[in-house]
Structures are given as structure tokens and as C-alpha cells.
Amino acid sequence: ETGVTQTPRHLVMGMTNKKSLKCEQHLGHNAMYWYKQSAKKPLELMFVYNFKEQTENNSVPSRFSPECPNSSHLFLHLHTLQPEDSALYLCASSQSANTEAFFGQGTRLTVV
Amino acid sequence: DAKTTQPTSMDCAEGRAANLPCNHSTISGNEYVYWYRQIHSQGPQYIIHGLKNNETNEMASLIITEDRKSSTLILPHATLRDTAVYYCIVNSGGSNYKLTFGKGTLLTVNP
């Protein structure tokens, strides 16, 4: 248990579905991140939020839409995904750039 | 942020020390060296980090060379549960607060 909770742990969705991934941290951290990990590829940073403001979008397609309503919660809204979007989606948080990041266990997403 | 180079894979016998090297020859003065690991199908786990001095915690030791161009993560008594991909990351601590993961080293601890 790292203090970062992701739900759901597993998700199967059709290409026309709309779903959301949720991440929650009660560590008092100021930065939150979404990462994508596809099979046999390094972790790819998708989005960075700092004090609820998006500070980085790493050229992520618009079918992925992040939302950070407060400093403890981060969502990733998904719509009209493709099968190649199937991956492990990881959320992380950190207090600052010079402190460690805590990762959730991830959501295993399968797009059919 | 500086780039890191790690061996693709390493093996270690259970109970022995595992020494994982990392090269970061372009590291700059304000960049920290972080180590994380990822056990299969789980989220990455923070291990240790340092700037200049060697560091030790309950999980591992981090040895950083004097010129800071390379470092070694040491797991003093490896167990089977230490089998994972180990990532060495250099982070400048800039305003974006991001960690950039490379391919890491797959450490396999053998019985």
C-alpha cells in the first residue's frame, strides 16, 4: 500500500464506450501524474498536474482527457479508444520534484 | 534531464549482493539520481535517491561516484522477491516534477 489508490484495477471496454479511471491520494502531495505502460515498452508519461493545474501534456491523443478537481483526486476520462490503447495505466503523486513519487497499482485496460 | 544507461538484464544468486550499475555521464549539478523498481504487473516502487553522497536505507544502498557520472544500487542480500525491473532516473527537479523512465535492468534473483 503506497497511499495512492487507483480504481478500477481492471477494465474492459468497447471502442465506443466512455469510461473513467480514478486516482486518489491522501498524502498531501502537490503533483500528480498519469503514465501509460504498454507491453514491452517503457513507462510513458502522459500528463502532469501541479497544484491542480495541468503542466504537461505529452502529446497525448484527445481521446484521453484528464481531470484534476482537487489536489487529492485525478481522473482519466476515456472515449472512443482503440485496441492499441490497451495498457497498464499508472497514477503517481509526489510532494515535490526532489522527493520520491508514489505509484498506484495501476488499471489494466483492455479495449475490444 | 540527463539520460541514463543501464544493462538490459542481470542475474544474481539468492542471498548474495546485487549490484546494479547506471551511467549518467551528462548529469548536471542540480540533478538527483533516483532508483525505482517494478515487479511484474505492479506499479513502480521507490527505492532510494541521492545527490552527491552515498545513501542507505532499509531497502538498499546507493553509491554515487565522485564525478557523479555513474552510480550503483546495491541490494545487500537479494531475495527471490527482489526480481524486478530496476530503473535509474535522473531528475532535475524542475517545475514539471516529472520522472522519465527508461528501459531499466531486469534483475532475476535465482534460487
How far apart CA B35 and CA B46 sit, in angstroms, is 6
Q: Per the CB < 8 Å rule, is B49 touching A90?
A: no
Asked if pLDDT for residue A1 goes beyond 70, the answer is no
Asked if pLDDT for residue B2 goes beyond 70, the answer is no
- What is the b/e burial string over A87-98, where b = at least 16 CB atoms within 10 angstroms of the residue's CB? bbbbbbbbeebe
Q: Is A108 on the interface with B (CB under 8 A)?
A: yes
**Which set of grid coordinates corresponds to residue A41?**
515498452
Which of helix, strand or coil describes residue A48? strand
What average pLDDT does this structure show over B1-16? 91
Pick the more confident residue, B109 or A71: B109
Report chain B residues whose CB lies below 8 A from the CB of A102: 46
What DSSP character marks residue B5?
Answer: B
pLDDT at res. B104: 93
* Residue given cell 538527483 in the structure block: B32
Where do the DSSP E strands lie in chain B? 9-13, 18-23, 32-38, 45-50, 55-56, 61-64, 70-75, 84-91, 105-110
What average pLDDT does this structure show over B11-38? 94
pLDDT confidence band for B94 (50 / 70 / 90): low
Interface A-B, measured as beta-carbon pairs within 8 A, has a size of: 65
What average pLDDT does this structure show over B67-79? 97
Asked if pLDDT for residue B95 goes beyond 90, the answer is no
The alpha-carbon gap from B42 to the nearest alpha carbon of chain A, in Å, equals 5
Pick the more confident residue, A97 or B38: B38
Report chain A residues whose CB lies below 8 A from the CB of B32: 98
Whole-number percent of chain B with pLDDT over 90: 75
Q: Which among B35, B39, B29, B30 has a CA at the least distance from the CA of B4?
A: B35
Helix, strand, coil abundance in chain B, percent, nearest 5? 5, 45, 50
